[in-house]
Amino acid sequence: MRLMPSNRWVRAAAFLLLLAAAAAALAHPEDEFCVPGEDSLDPALCQALAELDNAERIASGAILDAAGQPRGFWSTFGLYVGIGVGHILPAGLDHILFVLALFLSSTRIRALVIQISTFTVAHTATLGLTAAGVISPPASIVEPLIAASIAFVAVENLFLKDMPRWRPLIVFGFGLVHGMGFAGFFGELGLPPDQFWSGLLGFNVGVEIGQLSVVAVAFVVALLVRRALASTDRQSWYRKGIVVPASLLIALTGLWWAADRTMAALV
């Protein structure tokens, strides 16, 4: 079997190192919960809050439009679709890495659809329950668990070449945790009661659009990489040159975040 040229490995390693540096720079315990007044806030999340507070003018118990009139169901829905998308792209790096880890573990479309669908159902359930106040998980527990879920799935990718039968159950459990994280940010927006459900639905749709965008981009990139591989055994080289090193990087990032967020919660 012909070996991949060494310079290709060098370029891949350089790319992974740059990605690792970017992930480390963007990682901090406040990714999920934006608390005004702290220097380490995620600028994208805080910008969304600022725009909602200023441009949309929350007043008199309702979110007002540019004309000063209370927004209707679809207007509020559309507003929160944009906020939900922004929470994933570009603000939700941890959620992006989790979705990418699921993508890397799927050698068939069916396996990918099962995992993404399971994740969607789970995080939608806890997003609604947490946002409605039915459950109130502490951020000090949710944030490290989200990071740990990223590391767990990525580590599995290193040892398993295809989606194991138990993976959908694990993804469902992790989806429940991620939904609590989404709700942590959503709760900061302070929706009036009569606009709560339209905002919640819009936010959830926006999150899904963001996640599916990540999957679509990853699919196109993976397709181009497979076609560019000179080796006749493309599947084998795709795993050795892309899946394994990328999963390793995601695993290390998740472990770092888990340790960092755990220490921050204990201080």
Asked if residue 231 lies in contact with residue 109, where contact means CB atoms within 8 angstroms, the answer is no
For 3-42, write each residue's pLDDT tens digit.
333 444 434 444 444 444 444 444 433 444 444 444 444 5
User: Taking the domains of the chain in order of start, what are their residue ranges?
Assistant: 40-266
Query: Residue 264: what residue type?
Result: A
Query: Residue 37: what residue type?
Result: G
Residue 24's Cβ-side half-sphere holds a number of Cα atoms within 13 Å equal to 9
Kindly indicate the confidence band of residue 146, based on its pLDDT and cuts at 50, 70 and 90. Answer: very high
Both tokens of residue 125? 């359930």
DSSP string for residues in 20-57: HHHHHHH--GGGSS--TT-TT--HHHHHHHHHHHHTTT
Q: Is residue 73 predicted with pLDDT exceeding 90?
A: no
Give pLDDT, residue 38. Answer: 47
State the angle between helix axes of 139-159 and 167-187 in degrees (0 to 180), rounded to the nearest 10: 150
Listed in sequence order, the residues at least 6 apart from 154 whose beta carbon sits closer than 8 Å to its beta carbon are 97, 101, 104, 247, 248, 250, 251, 254
The SS3 assignment for 114 reads helix
pTM: predicted TM-score of the whole model, two decimal places: 0.74
What is the chain's mean pLDDT, rounded? Answer: 78
For 179-220, write each residue's pLDDT tens digit.
999 988 888 777 777 888 899 999 999 999 999 999 999 999
Listed in sequence order, the residues at least 6 apart from 265 whose beta carbon sits closer than 8 Å to its beta carbon are 29, 139, 140, 141, 143, 144
Give pLDDT, residue 230. Answer: 61
Q: Is residue 232 predicted with pLDDT exceeding 70?
A: no
Kindly indicate the confidence band of residue 74, based on its pLDDT and cuts at 50, 70 and 90. Answer: confident
